[in-house]
């Protein structure tokens, strides 16, 4: 897919105040660790995640999404009457119906003519929303749109801890299926896109490429919005990187970029092993990547865009940079986007800071 008149205009995000360290999770898992004689520090060593954040219990995703979307819209400077679409793209949502986008739309007071709906595609939902809004703009159907999502990982993590401590039949081998669930965090992010005439930033979305390997759809499964998730992490890592390599090859061909012409990358945040192997597989210099998984964990569909928002906010993307957004999610689905950057526009929740770092 190619876009000629679509701009990625602004970000808005909200991070929870509550920080939960991996060490705290391991302390809560003491019954499991004692039973299986697992060494302390194992979880952080395997994942590279020191901490993650959680919203308060019973937080409705829409309530936080309204905040993030409002920040992105305000940062764009675009009058609300120009917004023709709102997509809610996170795994977490208020109900099965109506669409969470309905409450977010109501909270933002956007036009009644706007197209509003939810998109669900595991960790790629927000990226899918970007492509859908970009396509509407490219076709001249709308002039601006916002995609937003809020992932609330607390319930999944707490359910997993309860299961692991109570399931006495688990072994050192079978417990691996639940490790990925303990990496989950919470975050909310929104992205505004618009046509070139409305844009002040001029960050042009140029390319989108998709690739899937649905023979591996059962490697990561969760039943219900707040249920237990089981993941074959090792096989998902191997298969995901293989699918990512195929997608990246297509991305280079579609964008016309060479690997050494990419100035900055933002990727889905899973774990340090995944990131290391992915960059080796794609033959990319890891120094151009920016990561937040060490301090935010895996925030699902919010992971890639909030990492980009933080990187942009910290001045890590410069005028004329070529930016690659490299999304790989369960299913297995890959979605990669190319942006020619000009300037930043990010709005965050007041008083919040988060440590993040470029890969080394």
Domain coordinates in residue numbering, the chain: 201-343
Q: What angle do CA 194, 202, 84 make, to 5 degrees?
A: 5
pLDDT averaged per 10 residues, the chain (length 360): 95 96 95 91 90 95 97 95 97 92 95 96 94 97 98 93 91 86 94 96 95 73 62 68 87 94 89 81 90 93 95 93 90 91 70 39
Q: Is 97 a catalytic residue?
A: yes
Q: Which of 47, 7, 11 is nearest to 26 (CA)?
A: 47
Q: What is the pLDDT of residue 63?
A: 97
How crowded is residue 311: how many other Cβ atoms within 10 Å of its Cβ? Answer: 23
Total Cβ atoms within 10 A of residue 196: 12
Task: Give me the pLDDT at residue 236, please.
Answer: 63
Report the distance separating Cα 110 and Cα 269, nearest Å. Answer: 31
* pLDDT of res. 194: 98
Pick the CATH number of 201-343 from 3.40.50.300, 3.40.50.261, 3.40.47.10, 3.40.50.150: 3.40.47.10
Q: Of 102, 123, 152, 267, which residue is the catalytic one? A: 123
> Which candidate, 117, 116, 141, 127, places its Cα nearest to that of 195?
141
Task: Specify the pLDDT at position 360.
Answer: 28
What burial class does residue 202 get, using C-beta atoms within 10 Å of its C-beta: 0-12 exposed, 13-18 middle, 19+ buried? Answer: middle
Global pTM reads 0.90
Active site residue 220: no
Q: What is the pLDDT of residue 274?
A: 77
- Residue 186's DSSP bridge partners are none
pLDDT, residue 275, reads 80
Kindly report each contact of residues 341-344 with a partner whose C-beta sits within 8 Å and lies 24 or more positions away, as own/partner: 341/203, 341/264, 341/317, 342/201, 342/202, 342/203, 342/204, 343/201, 343/202, 343/203, 343/319, 344/201, 344/312, 344/313, 344/315, 344/317
Can you give the pLDDT at residue 60? 95
């Amino acid at each position: 897919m190619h876009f000629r008149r679509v701009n990625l205009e602004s970000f808005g995000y909200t991070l929870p105040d509550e920080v939960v360290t991996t060490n705290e999770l391991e302390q809560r898992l003491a019954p499991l660790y004692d039973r299986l004689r697992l060494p302390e520090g194992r979880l952080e060593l395997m994942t590279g995640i020191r901490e993650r954040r959680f919203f308060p219990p019973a937080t409705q995703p829409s309530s936080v999404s309204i905040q993030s979307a409002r920040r992105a819209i305000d940062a764009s400077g675009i009058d609300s009457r120009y917004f023709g679409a709102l997509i809610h793209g996170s795994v977490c949502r208020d109900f099965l119906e109506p669409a969470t986008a309905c409450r977010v739309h109501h909270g933002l007071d956007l036009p009644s003519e706007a197209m509003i709906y939810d998109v669900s595609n595991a960790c790629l939902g927000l990226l899918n929303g970007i492509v859908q809004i970009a396509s509407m703009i490219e076709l001249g159907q709308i002039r601006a749109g916002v995609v937003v999502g809020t992932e609330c990982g607390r319930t999944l993590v707490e359910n997993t801890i309860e299961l692991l401590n109570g399931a006495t039949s688990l072994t050192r081998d079978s417990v691996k299926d639940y490790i990925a669930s303990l990496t989950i965090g919470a975050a909310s992010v929104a992205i505004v896109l618009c046509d070139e005439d409305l844009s002040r930033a001029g960050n042009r979305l140029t390319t989108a490429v998709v690739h899937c390997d649905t023979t591996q759809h059962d490697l990561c499964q969760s039943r219900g919005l707040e249920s237990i998730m089981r993941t074959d992490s090792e096989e998902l890592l191997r298969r995901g990187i293989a699918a990512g390599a195929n997608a990246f090859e297509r991305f280079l061909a579609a964008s016309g970029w060479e690997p050494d012409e990419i100035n900055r990358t933002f990727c889905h945040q899973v774990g340090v092993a995944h990131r290391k192997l992915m960059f080796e597989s794609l033959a990319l210099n890891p120094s151009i990547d920016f990561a937040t998984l060490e301090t935010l964990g895996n925030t699902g569909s919010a992971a890639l865009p909030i990492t980009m928002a933080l990187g942009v906010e910290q001045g890590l993307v410069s005028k004329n940079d070529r930016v690659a957004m490299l999304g790989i999610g369960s299913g297995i689905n890959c979605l990669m986007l190319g942006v020619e950057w000009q300037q930043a526009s990010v709005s965050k929740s007041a008083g919040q800071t988060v440590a993040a770092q470029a890969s080394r």
